Structure 1
Amino acid sequence: MIKFLDLKKQYDSISAEIDTAIYDTINNSSYIGGASVSKFEEEFGDFAQVPYCIGVANGTDAIEIALKSLGLKPGSEIIVPANSFISTSEAVTNSGYRVIFCDICPETCNISINNLKKKINDNTGAVILVHLYGMPAPIEEIMELCAKRSIKVIEDCAQAHGATSNGRHVGSFGDLGTFSFYPGKNLGAYGDAGAIVTTNGNLAERCRRISNHGRSKKYDHDFEGRNSRLDALQASILSTKLRHLNSWIEKRREIAQIYRSLLPESLLLQKVPSNVQHAYHLFVIRIKNRDRLKAFLEENNVQTGIHYPIALPDLNAYKYMDQNGQFINASSNAKSILSLPMGEHLELKQVEKVVELINCFCDS
């Protein structure tokens, strides 16, 4: 079986380091906050090239806390791309704001600048862009566009640990950047975990207080917040894995290059601008008879995925908005996208086998 992802193999490769980190945390009996969390926040902030990093319970909380920290007007419109996981949009509505979907660029699968310009209006409070599949969205252009209207920008970097645009890490451009450390991410915990990064000290302090019951010190609460803290066990695991992240991403890029050079030209691949470095959380192809190819690969012991099979505006959760069918690119892509095996667990001969099978399918 050529696995889509193999977290056990990843653990086996660094098990001694992981086991030591877990043992040390348990031995210190410090489970909430403490040195392990502070250490990871500093290390990940350095990695992401930002001065402030706040560990939180998960990536969805990270977006909600980031939104709350901005102090936007109740009912403000928040623009999000139509192709993402639901956490991007549900964070908006759960925070009391109105979600506005924006179509994607068919070549990059990221948010469409042209459609974004049409969606922005006087009620727009913020844009949440997603660096989908690990490829940076056109962040510099979005920042310039939003600055003209004093619109806040949150970067959803849940899939883009290690991705860069013009040499700068994602998360360092917007007012705030949010990360998920869900186990399957490029940098994954052994459970749920997340982080918020920013270059703004005031926003960082507000996010930290919101995530910790609105307090600056024990039993001194300046406002009502929430309980969303990165626990020390996950922080110690993440610190350990962070040391390996760059080499894992380089392996992903090597695998992507093989896919790009050997896959049939008839397949549509995510277009990567020359100024960005893709982190390849996912390697996504587009093919009209997607379901047939998926079944063929599974019959030949190759695991695949679909990210995502339904565009956000087409979900039952958003039927009340009556926007079904209005997002042509996102809805069309959802019917043709297929995620191939990707990760440092793969051997190059396995990648070549996947390519061989896909070529065989396309030639038949």
Structure 2
Amino acid sequence: MIPMVNLKAQYTEIKDEVEQGLAQTIENCSFILGPNVQAFEQECAAYLGVKHALGVASGTDALHLALLAEGIGKGDEVITTAFTFIATAEAIKYVGATPVFVDIDPRTFNIAPEAILKAITSRTKAVMPVHLFGQPADMAQIVEICQEHDLKLIEDCCQSFGASVNGKQTGAIGDSAGFSFFPSKNLGAFGDGGLVVTHSDSTAAKLKQLRNHGSNVRYYHDIIGYNSRLDEMQAVILRAKLKRLEQYNEGRRRAAHLYSKLMADLPLTTPFEDGLGVHVYHQYTLLSERRDEIMQALQAKQIGCAVYYPVPLHQQIAFKEECEGMSLPVTESVAANCFSLPICPFLKDEEIHEIVDVIKSVF
């Protein structure tokens, strides 16, 4: 059996450090916004090259609070991609704004800058690109568009911790950004967790209030806020993993490049690296018109595989009202043909060869 992500192998590597840190946290009885959360926030800010990094309860919360802190609200429009997990658009809806879905680049699967330009209206207040599957979006063009039209740029980095563009980390390019620490992510917790980052002192101050019941001083509440704080125990785990993140991401890139080399002559489309940034392969996603046959063959051999995402957001029932009749041809084509293979730093070369042999057998 080959799982999509081998979390057990990763745990074995960090077991002693994590268990020692958790035991110390329990002994100290400091569980909410304690020393490990504070240290982790500082370490993330230094790694990402941002002024402020604030731990929150999930990646969804990170995007939600980032939008609120940037002043996005009722009546505003936020341009984003329909080829992403629903949390991207949920966060926009949470603040009362309208997600405006546009098409994607057929090679990177990221939001197409030219599609952003065509979707701008007088109500557009922000753009939220997703660095999908660990591939950075075309940020040079997106930054230029946002500056020209005075739009906020909020990065969805929930799949891209460690990815970079021209030496700058994703999350450090826009006005603010949200990250997810869902267990399967490149930097994953042992449960839910998230991070919001920004260069702005005023935005960071607002975020601190928002994540902690609208309070700066205990029991004094200036605004209606939320209970969205990164757990101290998760921070212990994440600190251990952050030290190894570069090694982990390099392991994912090694596995991805071997996959692509072995499947170079097959009639399917392997992931594209545009050279504008460093892809960290949160997922290794291919395109094939014979997707279902390939996945059935893999499943018969107990090899993990999955479709991210089978139904684009503009075709989801939840968005039926605002997206009735909408057509996004590239997004729809990719969703109909994409599938993902196991990818993680602990995937062995012989496992990759075994997986590719099964795929070759289909052809």
Q: Which residue of 2 aligns with 1:164?
A: 164
2:147 aligned with 1:128: no
**Aligned ranges 1:1-364 → 2 under 5 Å:** 1-72=1-72, 74-263=74-263, 264-324=265-325, 326-362=327-363
CA contact (8 A) 2:251 2:346 kept: no
Specify the SS of the correspondent of 2:183.
Answer: coil
Specify the SS of the correspondent of 1:55.
Answer: strand
CA contact (8 A) 1:313 1:324 kept: no
- For 1:219, the aligned partner's letter is Y
Deviations 1:278-303 (A, max 9, x none): 01100000000111110011112211
Task: After TM superposition, give the deviation of residue 102 of structure 1 in Å.
Answer: 1.0
What runs of 5+ residues in structure 1 fail to find an aligned partner?
none
Specify the SS of the correspondent of 1:354.
Answer: helix
Deviations 1:86-126 (A, max 9, x none): 00001111111111111111111000111111111111011
Root mean square deviation, CA, Å: 1.1
CA contact (8 A) 1:110 1:130 kept: yes
CA contact (8 A) 2:266 2:360 kept: no
Task: After TM superposition, give the deviation of residue 272 of structure 1 in Å.
Answer: 1.1
Specify the SS of the correspondent of 1:321.
Answer: helix
Structure 1 CA distance for aligned equivalents of residues 162 and 295 of structure 2: 29
- For 2:138, the aligned partner's letter is P
CA contact (8 A) 1:189 1:238 kept: yes
Specify the SS of the correspondent of 1:71.
Answer: coil
What runs of 5+ residues in structure 2 fail to find an aligned partner?
none
Specify the SS of the correspondent of 1:335.
Answer: helix
Structure 1 CA distance for aligned equivalents of residues 99 and 144 of structure 2: 22
CA contact (8 A) 1:214 1:222 kept: yes
- For 1:303, the aligned partner's letter is G
Specify the SS of the correspondent of 2:179.
Answer: strand
Structure 1 CA distance for aligned equivalents of residues 257 and 154 of structure 2: 30
Distance 1:54 1:135, change over 3 A: same
Deviations 1:288-332 (A, max 9, x none): 011111001111221101111111101111111244550111111
Distance 1:75 1:87, change over 3 A: same
Most deviating of 3-12 and 319-328 = 319-328
- For 1:31, the aligned partner's letter is F
Distance 1:346 1:324, change over 3 A: farther
Structure 2 CA distance for aligned equivalents of residues 12 and 220 of structure 1: 44
Task: After TM superposition, give the deviation of residue 61 of structure 1 in Å.
Answer: 0.6
CA contact (8 A) 1:259 1:355 kept: yes
Specify the SS of the correspondent of 2:318.
Answer: helix
- For 1:114, the aligned partner's letter is E
CA contact (8 A) 1:82 1:103 kept: yes
CA contact (8 A) 1:314 1:324 kept: no
Of all paired residues, the percent bearing the same amino acid is 37
TM-score by length of 2: 0.97
TM-score by length of 1: 0.97
Most deviating of 216-225 and 274-283 = 216-225
Structure 2 CA distance for aligned equivalents of residues 227 and 324 of structure 1: 38
- For 1:172, the aligned partner's letter is A
Most deviating of 80-89 and 296-305 = 296-305
